[in-house]
């Protein structure tokens, strides 16, 4: 079963390819997802990397957490499940004329 890792404090110049190469030194990477801003397309400074085996994920955490990469100390830990958010919708905002 694959283990999903959170990777934080990334340089804004880091690419998905860079991350994949960094983590492949510790095992099989099944996916790599660098989070980007939806308007600018620039990196938001964190990513999710999925490792094929839990032992490989544990090794990557112990080897890379706190390690300097592109001049920044990485934060690497097991990703928490995504929290449920309330459904979107209009909340009655908008402009009202007040006379």
Burial label, 17 (beta-carbon count in 10 A; 0-12, 13-18, 19+): exposed
What is the arithmetic mean of pLDDT over 22-51? 96
Q: What is the pLDDT of residues 49-81, one digit of tens each?
A: 999 999 999 999 999 999 999 999 999 999 988
Range of the domain at 56: 1-11+29-36+52-78
Percent of the chain topping pLDDT 90: 78
pLDDT of 26 above 60: yes
In a domain, 57, yes or no: yes
In a domain, 56, yes or no: yes
Domain count, the chain: 1
Greater pLDDT, 72 or 99: 72
pLDDT of 84 above 90: no
User: pTM to 2 decimals?
Assistant: 0.81
Contact 18, 34 (CB under 8 A): no
């Amino acid at each position: 079963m694959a283990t999903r890792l959170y990777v934080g404090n990334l340089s804004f110049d880091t690419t998905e390819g860079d991350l994949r190469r960094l983590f492949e030194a510790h095992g099989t990477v099944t996916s790599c997802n660098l989070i980007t801003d939806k308007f600018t397309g620039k990196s938001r400074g964190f990513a999710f990397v999925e490792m094929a085996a839990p032992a490989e994920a544990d090794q990557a955490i112990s080897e890379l957490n706190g390690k300097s990469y592109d001049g920044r100390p990485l934060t690497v830990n097991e990703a928490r499940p995504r929290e449920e958010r309330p459904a979107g919708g209009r909340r009655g905002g908008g402009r009202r004329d007040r006379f």
